Structure 1
Amino acid sequence: MRPGTIAVVLVAAVAHAVWNTVSKYKRGDTVLFVWAYTCAAALLCVPVGVVPVLTGAQSLGWRLAACSAVSAALHAVYSLTLQTGYDRFELGVVYPVARGTGPVLTMLFAVLLLGERPTRIEALGAVIVVVGMVVVAGNPFRGGGGRHPLRGVLWGAATGATIAAYTLWDSYAVAKLAPVTYFTGTFLLQGLAMTPRALRRREEIPAALRTDAGPVLTVAVFSPLAYILVLTAMRTAPVALVAPLRESSIVVGSLLAWRLFHEAHLARRVLGAAIVLTGIAAISL
């Protein structure tokens, strides 16, 4: 994997950790929160997403619409599952498990279904990244905080399965479509699909927007930024390598959880970060 591609994925990882941490501050209704930031992200992405269309690099047609529709459905399930997990359990449990499960499943299905064959050193680097994430996460079965985190682990694993699903689909789609236009279409269709459900709570919308205005706008900016960078990287690098590398975001996320939410075990998380960086170095070779 080329150094420039690695840099793009690492910037995406930081952006991803930021928006996930901010979403933990959400206080209003989960459906309205996801709907609001999806719609806001769509509006922010449209001016950039239409550029490939205007320049002729991307045509409007059934392929773009169909691929965006499938991605929108997968991302809606992912967003609601993730946010529900954050509402009920600790960030330090749900986030590492979700981001750790995702690349393992992605690599497995990329090899089995897409026929990708990473080199031995690249595959070893991916494994080292996953090991580092396990160290950062620590023992998910420990007690604490007045509740057993096993259910948080299950929510994280469910989220990881949705991550694997949309990652594989999107890697297939961006091979034929402009990433920024494709993801703009995904946000637009996801927002439209969730609108009827949001309107059933129309009386709560003003209060929800006032309560979560900051998190909504932050997620609306950093979520598409993170994933458009990943989609761009997928055009020049195998998904089996991009997927685990971008999950280095859990190092940043875990440190933010320690700093902002006063979660413990900083030393273990620093050790896990060092292991993750070792894996990244192996992938870059």
Structure 2
Amino acid sequence: MTPAVTAAVLLAAVTHASWNAIAHRVTDKLVGFTLIAGGGLLIGLAMAPFTAPPARAAWPFLLSSAAIHIVYYALLMTSFRLGDFGQAYPIARGTAPLVVTVLAAVFAHEVPDGRAAAGIALSCAGLTGVALWGLRGRRPDWAAIGAALATGLSIAAYTVVDGLGVRASGSSLGYFAWLMALHGAVISAYAAWHWRGDTVALLRPFAALGLLGAVLSVTAYALVLWAQTRAELAPIAALRESSVIVGAAIGAVFFKERFGVPRLAAAGLLVLGIGLMLHAG
């Protein structure tokens, strides 16, 4: 985890939380996610002619990741529809790092040393704290929690698949361009079929907001894919999920959701965990 990799992943965390907040702000979740995925499709198609195509060995990972991303979008839409942003986002993002740690050890043979493992565990404790604070004083909505947990599992799955795929591709930009184009095309096609002749009318009022979300989404994942070619998957996943703290702040400022002392404590744990990961090895 060099300073350049760390800076890239932290920037990805900020841009990721921002596009998720934009998606949550659009009342019709399918509209929001269609604009973001469609914008990703346009950006991917624009990039593809100017990047080296992924190596043949990367295509099974690329196709699998596109399918997992489609499932992820569907689950994330469900999470945002059922739960508050400040609840759904931390649970979804906080589930992923520990699962990535296990999957990376099994499939990428990346076993973190003691300090890195402690950093990942502390970071996950902080993320869990943010999620639990989102549940305070209310009966748990198990449907919303279940959707957010399933979203987290899909995040872990595509993180590991893309980590292996981008390393096999020979071109992180080429892999990224085709990934955006593939899953963006499927989501856009589904939305056009679902809405029939009303597609343009439904998308137009949110077009500018949705395209801003697309740029932020593309930026966030391009940075993560680049980082995955230069560092192990589990620390990147844990560091990336510092977006949960950003998301909590966005929820407090824009959605009038309380931040509170427990979230500050959770943020402190996350920072300590990041520090351990940066000094591991």
TM superposition score normalised by structure 1: 0.90
Q: Which runs of 5+ in 1 are unaligned?
A: 54-58
CA shift for structure 1 position 198: 2.1
CA shift for structure 1 position 49: 4.0
User: Quick one: distance in 1 between partners of 2:105 and 2:189?
Assistant: 38
Residues 130-149 of structure 1 mapped to structure 2, 5 A cutoff: 130-139=124-133, 141-144=135-138, 148-149=140-141
Which structure dedicates a bigger proportion of its chain to helix?
Answer: 2
User: Quick one: distance in 2 between partners of 1:199 and 1:125?
Assistant: 44
User: Quick one: distance in 2 between partners of 1:176 and 1:112?
Assistant: 17
Structure 1 residue aligned with 2:34: 35
1:54-88 Cα shifts (integer Å, max 9, x gaps): xxxxx466445443322211111101110221122
Residues 27-66 of structure 1 mapped to structure 2, 5 A cutoff: 27-28=27-28, 30-53=29-52, 59=53, 62-66=56-60
Mark the CA change 1:64 to 1:42 in structure 2 (over 3 Å): closer, same or farther: farther
Is the aligned partner of 1:267 residue 2:261?
yes
Q: Assess if the C-alpha contact under 8 Å between 1:24 and 1:91 holds in 2.
A: yes
User: Quick one: distance in 1 between partners of 2:256 and 2:149?
Assistant: 24
Mark the CA change 1:268 to 1:68 in structure 2 (over 3 Å): closer, same or farther: same
Is the aligned partner of 1:238 residue 2:232?
yes
Residues 146-157 of structure 1 mapped to structure 2, 5 A cutoff: 148-157=140-149
What's the RMSD between the two structures over aligned residues? Answer: 1.9
User: Quick one: distance in 1 between partners of 2:58 and 2:106?
Assistant: 26
User: Quick one: distance in 2 between partners of 1:62 and 1:170?
Assistant: 14
Q: Assess if the C-alpha contact under 8 Å between 2:87 and 2:135 holds in 1.
A: no
The alignment of Structure 1 onto Structure 2 pairs a total of residues equal to 277
TM superposition score normalised by structure 2: 0.91
Structure 2 residue aligned with 1:165: 157
Is the aligned partner of 1:68 residue 2:47?
no
Q: 2:177 aligns with which of 161, 175, 184?
A: 184
Structure 1 residue aligned with 2:213: 219
Q: Assess if the C-alpha contact under 8 Å between 2:133 and 2:263 holds in 1.
A: no
SS at match of 1:174: helix
Mark the CA change 1:265 to 1:27 in structure 2 (over 3 Å): closer, same or farther: closer
Q: Which runs of 5+ in 2 are unaligned?
A: none
Structure 2 residue aligned with 1:96: 90
CA shift for structure 1 position 175: 0.6
Q: Assess if the C-alpha contact under 8 Å between 1:103 and 1:244 holds in 2.
A: yes
SS at match of 2:120: helix
The one-letter amino acid of 1:168's match is V
Structure 1 residue aligned with 2:197: 203
Mark the CA change 1:65 to 1:173 in structure 2 (over 3 Å): closer, same or farther: closer
Structure 1 residue aligned with 2:250: 256
Is the aligned partner of 1:118 residue 2:117?
no
User: Quick one: distance in 1 between partners of 2:127 and 2:152?
Assistant: 13
CA shift for structure 1 position 18: 0.6
Structure 2 residue aligned with 1:14: 14
Q: Assess if the C-alpha contact under 8 Å between 2:17 and 2:247 holds in 1.
A: yes
Q: Assess if the C-alpha contact under 8 Å between 1:255 and 1:269 holds in 2.
A: no
Q: Assess if the C-alpha contact under 8 Å between 1:103 and 1:164 holds in 2.
A: yes
Mark the CA change 1:236 to 1:116 in structure 2 (over 3 Å): closer, same or farther: same
Q: Assess if the C-alpha contact under 8 Å between 1:171 and 1:239 holds in 2.
A: yes
| Sequence identity percentage | 31
User: Quick one: distance in 1 between partners of 2:54 and 2:246?
Assistant: 38
